[in-house]
Structure 1
Amino acid sequence: MQQLDLLTANDRPGHHPASWYAATAKRRSDHPVLEGSVQADVVVIGAGFTGLSAALSLAQSGHSVVVLEANRIGWGASGRNGGQVGSGQRLDQITLEDMLGKSDARLLWDLAEESKAVVHDLIRDHAIDCGYRPGILYVDHRPDIAKDHADYARHLEQVYGYEGNEVLGRDAVRQRLASPLYHGGILDRGAGHLHPLNFALGIGAAAEAAGARIFERSRVTGYTHSPSRVLVKTEAGEVTASHMVLACNGYLGRLEPKVSARVMPINNYIIATEPLGAERAQSLIRGGVAVADSKFVINYFRMSDDHRLLFGGGENYGYRFPSDIAAFVRKPMSKVFPQLADIGIDYGWGGTLAITPKRMPFFARLSPNVITASGYSGHGVAMACLAGRLIGEAISGQTGRFEVFERIKVPSFPGGSRFRFPLLVLAMTWFSLRDRLGF
């Protein structure tokens, strides 16, 4: 099938989507278009969490950095997501122990803990006003999952020394969450949530203050490279650099086949209700925590600072956004909160993230001077920020921590980028059926 251009298929190029995040952004994203020829030590393609974190790290290390963004800072998944800053990796530690051995599993756990610290450091060091709040409540839609998750919380405490989790029974969950659906859960006090677009804009401002040059509305059309030089072309200019960082995630398109064979874009959708008022909002989700459930086609939600429910959920099997996102996401929201079935919805937006076959990010050196990280599989707020820092280390000659992720060896999707979408449809149909049947 013909691949849609996801940079233009669902959104107005050059403008943030009409989301609650964009409506409440603390600053504007307004950088020039690249015109003519410029030079730098490093050129970064993509101004999301990965690219901006890499640019900041590299600029602070004394490198000259140019960032190229096809639209606006945080325009992609970084400025549209659920804002959850989770613990661990996308795969659980027991799976990673079996897959990679206990030593590398331990390294990945420690790096995941560092990724949360990176988020806190960025917020503190650069005074980023993004409304960070602690706590994610992970709730279980089946009784057997509740038991498994309780066992896993004990494993994290006994093996990794992680004491942030509180195991909750059914009644304890219902004291915190006014939904009839769930049978137990884990409250992770070491996790948290934030306004992702404000966070991205804050990192962008920090990178610029450190010396990085950022160009928006400067879509990359292609690049060539030799062992010592990279030439990146845009629609109106070009950048010559010694190194290139590819940080496009779900919006990569056909720019780099080695990555697109392993990293598949998928769409996700969020709505923001009308303001509920402080008392009603607190009655629905107590304690200011975010929530994520255990379904494969996950529901995730939290309250905004102005007491709206921000709810993400629903699945579809095309790259076109639904014509009525509000109606599309209202269905799963109404199952979780039947009492909100008729509530007004003020915002509905979609975005494109990226997954890999192993649900672990794809870190790679595509050549000696071209490096990439993407495919965070819904776990990217903290991990992408860490990835940027590790990319900065690797370009500066300290490759060891980046190589921990490289050793995961993410495979290509069967059939590469050509057949990955039909396989996604089959897989999502199967797993969403399992969710509906309660398997």
Structure 2
Amino acid sequence: MEHIRSLWADTANTHEERPRLEESVTADVMIVGGGYTGLSTAYHLAQKRINCVVLEQHRVGWGASGRNAGMVLTGYKPSVFTIANKWGTAAAKELLDLSVDGIHLVKEIVQRHGIECSLSNCGNFDAAYKPSHYRSLYRNHAFMLKNFQYETYMVEKSDLKTEVDSELYHGGLVDPHSYSFHPLNYALGLADAAESLGAVIYEDTPVVSVKKQGPTFVATTPHGQVKAKHLVIGTNGYTSGLSKPLTRSVIPIGSYIVVTERLPREQAERLIPNNRMIADTKNFLYYFRRTPDDRILLGGRVDFNGEESEEIFQSVRSNLIEVFPELRHAKIEYRWGGMLGFTFDFFPHIGQLENGTHFALGYCGHGASISTLMGKLIALHVMEPGRSKNRLEQIPLKQVPFHGQRAIALNLATKYYRFLDRFF
């Protein structure tokens, strides 16, 4: 299956299709999923000359890795202040540092291999949807500055147009440590880098089943088979029946994007003057940015079945107009959707199942860089199983309650969070 049509697919670097698996092969490690998690795992294993095979059912970067908004952000879905209240200041500091390490790792890989993906240290802006949200952002800003010497800065509503020309918000917070990139070109470049070190990647190769025969994992595909000592599942929002424990622990959530026609440079620069990556503070947030060719990209509209429709994209276009009313008559030239992977506690998770399967998932919309770090950590765990674990690796994975009635539970949760967005 080809990449779905998107701005990123239409502006992707030249790349060749990889072959599908049509034989039986053996490896030290087999990796299911050709997104950032799986590709990073392969890259870091191949650096140490460990024989690894990546099995991707469509194309490298076909899922969220090639369809996201290209926002390489620090932090997690919960704020650092929230994390500190839950686990303490030391844990919050370690988790914050790990998220920054993820960004530095992306930068290191891009520079080392000359990946052309428009990587830019533009920073991000959290736009306060309500005055109370501004106060919460300020609390987070003050906490990080006092306890970690981590510098962010606040923008009051009277100065909002220095960051975004919209009347919808009440100021916000700038984090200058974040980046932007072309997400699909990063995925393609990461795949090339992994292959240059010896990793083998098969596309158009869905895994039909995985069984464990003694100490060996055996994966069956429509045209071949892989046997390996280690199995890695890195499918995130596209995790399906290969592993029941993982399927029951991740919530696939659809998110949808629209992109305008190219705007006059002056207009694009006025709407988002500093080219920040922007997200607001609603539970069902809007996220938006300028693209390198002077378009405005905006994503939103949570959906739990992942099915695209005219109604959904009209809703996202209405969100765009709510933020920027002057774009009412701008043509929408691209629109697409995809699945994110959420967990019950809104944290990413990494670990090993009882049968030995390695996994990382649940990035909750913050996976552009942390997934690359997760791949490195999985590789380390394969190579050094007795190594001490960081705080991120110690968070236990929990199954979603009422999994059998998940559709009902998610529908109720949606209504609840929309209520909160409206009144709080």
Aligned to 1:420: 406
Q: Which amino acid aligns with 2:140?
A: Y
Give the Å deviation of 1:326.
3.9
1:158-200 CA distances to partner (integer Å, 9 max, x unpaired)? 112212x111100222232111011111111101211111111
Task: State the alpha-carbon separation in 1 of the partners of residues 212 and 303 from structure 2.
Answer: 38
Aligned to 2:111: 124
**What SS class does the counterpart of residue 287 from structure 1 fall into?**
coil
1:391 to 350, 372, 378: 378
Q: Does 125-134 or 383-392 show the bigger shift? A: 125-134
Asked if the contact 1:41/1:242 (under 8 Å) is kept, the reply is: yes
1:198 to 182, 185, 189: 185
Asked if the contact 1:299/1:313 (under 8 Å) is kept, the reply is: yes
Aligned to 1:109: 96
Give the Å deviation of 1:324.
5.5
For this pair of structures, how many residues does the alignment match? 423
Unaligned ranges ≥5, structure 2:
none
Aligned to 1:363: 350
1:153 to 141, 145, 149: 141
1:135 to 123, 126, 139: 123
TM norm structure 1:
0.93
Q: Which amino acid aligns with 1:157?
A: L
Task: State the alpha-carbon separation in 1 of the partners of residues 240 and 17 from structure 2.
Answer: 24
Give the Å deviation of 1:404.
2.8
Unaligned ranges ≥5, structure 1:
1-13
Task: State the alpha-carbon separation in 2 of the partners of residues 397 and 131 from structure 1.
Answer: 34
Asked if the contact 2:252/2:304 (under 8 Å) is kept, the reply is: no
Pairing 1:5-84 to 2, within 5 Å after superposition? 14-84=1-71
Q: Which amino acid aligns with 2:349?
A: F
**What SS class does the counterpart of residue 401 from structure 2 fall into?**
coil
Task: State the alpha-carbon separation in 2 of the partners of residues 226 and 375 from structure 1.
Answer: 28
1:261-289 CA distances to partner (integer Å, 9 max, x unpaired)? 11110100011110002111101100121
Pairing 1:19-418 to 2, within 5 Å after superposition? 19-133=6-120, 134-163=122-151, 165-226=152-213, 228-323=215-310, 326-367=313-354, 369-397=356-384, 400=387, 402=389, 404-416=391-403, 418=404
Give the Å deviation of 1:398.
5.2
Superposition RMSD on alpha carbons, in Å? 1.5
Asked if the contact 2:117/2:186 (under 8 Å) is kept, the reply is: yes
Task: State the alpha-carbon separation in 2 of the partners of residues 324 and 195 from structure 1.
Answer: 27
**Against the structure 1 CA distance between its residues 355 and 29, is the aligned structure 2 distance closer, same or farther, given a 3 Å change threshold?**
farther
1:356-406 CA distances to partner (integer Å, 9 max, x unpaired)? 010001212014642000011111011101000000100001554655334
**What SS class does the counterpart of residue 57 from structure 1 fall into?**
helix
Task: State the alpha-carbon separation in 2 of the partners of residues 401 and 261 from structure 1.
Answer: 27
**Against the structure 1 CA distance between its residues 325 and 130, is the aligned structure 2 distance closer, same or farther, given a 3 Å change threshold?**
farther
> Identity of paired residues, percent?
34
**Against the structure 1 CA distance between its residues 167 and 300, is the aligned structure 2 distance closer, same or farther, given a 3 Å change threshold?**
same
Task: State the alpha-carbon separation in 2 of the partners of residues 317 and 249 from structure 1.
Answer: 15
Task: State the alpha-carbon separation in 1 of the partners of residues 217 and 170 from structure 2.
Answer: 54
Task: State the alpha-carbon separation in 1 of the partners of residues 79 and 278 from structure 2.
Answer: 18
